[in-house]
Chains A and B, each alone.
Chain A
């Protein structure tokens, strides 16, 4: 965890990871679950801010988190589609504990950067939206 990020951002980052990994102990499955956590964050934000917006956010978050978590340099892959994280492969090489810490730092940086721009409350809502959506009663599709 970097020293730059706020306590609220770190807490939300932890929650985002826990949402996918809670109860999983198998290291192979944990890697996949962490990958899923990143994908979910990506999708939720891409929906609102678009691919370019998410690319800009994640690039800056990586630049900020890599100072304290050099492991992220080995996990990232940037291409025309934006920043990709190869979490599963990194977990196999560096272990789930180290990858989890790196991913948590990245998510906290992402949350803090976006919170500075649009407010922490809205960031939390956007990142948790797919959970909230599942709680809504299914609307008729007539």
Chain B
């Protein structure tokens, strides 16, 4: 007797960027899926996108519309989306209106019509939009329709599964209704929601249930654009393939700084450069990028506080032509400033740029701009957002340099925001001090993991050619007070020396 082959449930790729990863590989073939959420949450767009990605004339998709949005309006607006290939309507995607059957209140007639159409067309996909309105019109007075709906959905699920159809039921539900009996029938439940926080809105998707798959937990942000839906999965660091760190050091491009750091920045590190306004953080970061380009590397700069054009104009002080580097696909300057981004969208944007140019250096300029660009709901948990962003980037092996503005760089002996320093390997601190009645810029290496780095403060200057490190202030005392004194004068007891 031969052993029967094990049943393999095939994946259906959704065609929605990011969604297959969230679902644990895609949808199960012949699954019965509920797509639920409030009106305007993107349910219809999601299902259309899946259908246009998969349906063929031989194995079409049937899209049953019931009561609610008129089909003409549905077609009028949905065809504006890039994935909506109108030449495939109705050969591959057919829209069938069930309003007459639904309005008559005869659920058996509705079911019979669906089955008849399925039987005639042999579709691979079926959607009913919206299944809740089918019962809303037929329910008995005083009833909430729950039992009738569950019964209808159960019968529909049995029919569609038997016909080997991957099906989608679209319905308006709120999270408070998540225990509705209809949900027990589904193989997959996708909740779409919209968070409103102050003036920003963030769309989120949650896989509430998947049979036979291990979905990615949590709420995943998504965006609806003219291209359709794009999901930005939460990417825990450990789920990404980690790249082993190279035992090399990267030149910073700032004369004198490599010597202070013990030979350059260890490749794969996360470097934090903090300082007050005007201290030259962007200049240092730009030189770090230019040096990488000179050394044959590729780089990504994520700017938040100025337009890329302005950044590139200011970068003309370095000897490397950033414009040419962009044309040669060795440099990408991403501009992220919409004020309602999720950290996952930012990560996707930066990661995409890293992949596109094959970057080994990433500059985030600046963290305060990054924080402001986040939707308020993410700003509230900035530490976690930053941890996820940096963790995902460094897991791929890139070296990340972040700038951060501090108002008082040394209040009570702290050199950085404590919310930031926990994720960094290396910390460089810039500050102003007064020496002989002049404002002087100084820098110290506070932390350089695994390195024999300098511990003194050193002056630096911002010249027309960029930042240049200068002399050590090792003969001064009290530098962190901002008003240092020459050590010899202090010893001699001369006040204010």
Contacts and interface: CB of A to CB of B under 8 A. Distances in A.
A49 B99 CA distance: 9
Interface string A48-62: 111111000100000
A132 interface: yes
Contacts of A46: 97
Nearest to B66: A50
Given A122-B89, A125-B91, A48 B71 contact: yes
Interface string B109-145: 0000000000101100000000000000000000000
A129 B91 contact: yes
A126 B89 CA distance: 7
A22 interface: no
A93 interface: no
A94 B70 CA distance: 37
Contact of A48 (B58, B91, B95): B95
Contacts of A49: 70-72, 95, 97
Given A122-B89, A125-B91, A137-B58, A52 B72 contact: no
A118 B76 contact: yes
Describe B's contact surface by its main secondary structure.
mixed
B89 A125 contact: yes
Interface residues of B, number: 24
B75 interface: yes
B75 A132 contact: no
A122 B91 contact: no
Contact of B58 (A53, A117, A139): A139
Contact of A139 (B75, B97, B99, B122): B122
Given A47-B97, A50-B65, A51-B99, A129 B72 contact: no
B147 interface: no
Interface of B: 57-58, 65, 70-72, 75-76, 79, 86-87, 89-91, 94-100, 119, 121-122
25 contacts: A47-B94, A48-B90, A48-B97, A49-B95, A49-B97, A50-B70, A51-B99, A53-B70, A53-B71, A53-B97, A57-B72, A117-B75, A118-B75, A118-B86, A119-B79, A121-B86, A122-B75, A125-B86, A125-B89, A125-B90, A129-B90, A129-B91, A136-B57, A139-B121, A141-B122
Interface of A: 46-53, 57, 114, 117-119, 121-122, 125-126, 129, 132, 136-137, 139-141
